[in-house]
Amino acid sequence: MRRPLIAGNWKLNKTIKESRQLSMQLIDELSNITDRDIVIAPVFTALSTVSEIIGSSPIQLAAQNCYPTTSGAFTGEVSPLFLQDAGCRFVIIGHSERRQLLHETNAFINQKLIAVIHAELTPILCIGETLQQREEGQMLETLTRQIEEGLAGLTADQMATVVIAYEPIWAIGTGKTASSEQAQEAHAFIRELLQELFNPTVAGQTRILYGGSVKPENIDNLMAQKDIDGALVGGASLKAEDFIRIVKFL
């Protein structure tokens, strides 16, 4: 069975001091949880501090982005090697905010994904359609392109570590959640695609998270869906109480 994973994407929020406080609050309430993965993604500058605080607790660390080349003359960039050095186990790749604001392409995202796998970290590959693409009937085509190009060149063995996050862009930070049925439909489609591109084992094992205005009020229904294996949580991961309740989904 697929182990549930709840990840909090803190985006560009929380100073080092605030990150320390929030991590300590999470540890207090979540240290006994053993049946699901819990991941938090603070800003780069807080990674080392948070890594020391979470220590051997069940909470694991993620970065929100990376650069695909290991080291060298790449001013301002951070590669998977340095993220691993700071204590990360996961890296979020291809978040829609980066696709939209920084014009990241599927080809560039694919390079990052491969670099993350080579560094023995777990990539969380974000995909999702805009409202316009959904309304114009291009949702499945968009998801197919993001998956095919984002996962290009990967072997079935390498796929064992990849996590996919389906995040419809119209649901991110808008308070508008996809209904559980809409999310399940997209997740089932992604799983079918993985079966075609790789094999039934990969399709059955890959964890597919839902992201887009996940809250304490909707997590239980989302997690009850057959193909939803967890959540990538933005806004609600900034409040300890909300994130704790989401991690403790029923």
Q: Beta strands of the chain (E only): which ranges?
A: 5-9, 37-41, 59-63, 90-93, 122-127, 163-166, 207-211, 230-233
128 part of the interface to ligand PEP, by CB under 6 A: no
229 part of the interface to ligand PEP, by CB under 6 A: no
146 part of the interface to ligand PEP, by CB under 6 A: no
Give the interface segment with ligand PEP, choosing from 72-80, 151-159, 165-173, 219-227 (CB under 6 A).
165-173
List, in order, residues 6 or more apart from 168 with CB less than 8 Å away.
Answer: 128, 129, 134, 178, 182, 186, 212
Nearer to ligand PEP by C-beta: 60 or 202? 60
176 part of the interface to ligand PEP, by CB under 6 A: no
Contact 6, 247 (CB under 8 A): yes
Binding mask 3-22 for ligand PEP (x = CB under 6 A): ------x-------------
167 part of the interface to ligand PEP, by CB under 6 A: yes
Catalytic positions are 95, 167
Among 233, 242, 243, 249, binds ligand PEP (CB under 6 A): 233
Residue 10 and residue 234: Cα distance in Å, rounded?
Answer: 6
Residue 140 and residue 30: Cα distance in Å, rounded?
Answer: 37
Residue 77 and residue 139: Cα distance in Å, rounded?
Answer: 32
The pair of structure tokens assigned to 154 is 């990967």
186 part of the interface to ligand PEP, by CB under 6 A: no
Shortest reach from residue 172's CB to ligand PEP, in Å: 4
230 part of the interface to ligand PEP, by CB under 6 A: no
Nearer to ligand PEP by C-beta: 7 or 147? 7
Sign of the dihedral defined by the CA atoms of residues 161, 130, 172, 218, in that order: negative
Identify the helix (H) or strand (E) that includes residue 200.
helix 200-205
**Residues near ligand PEP, by CB under 6 A:** 9, 167, 172-173, 211-214, 232-236
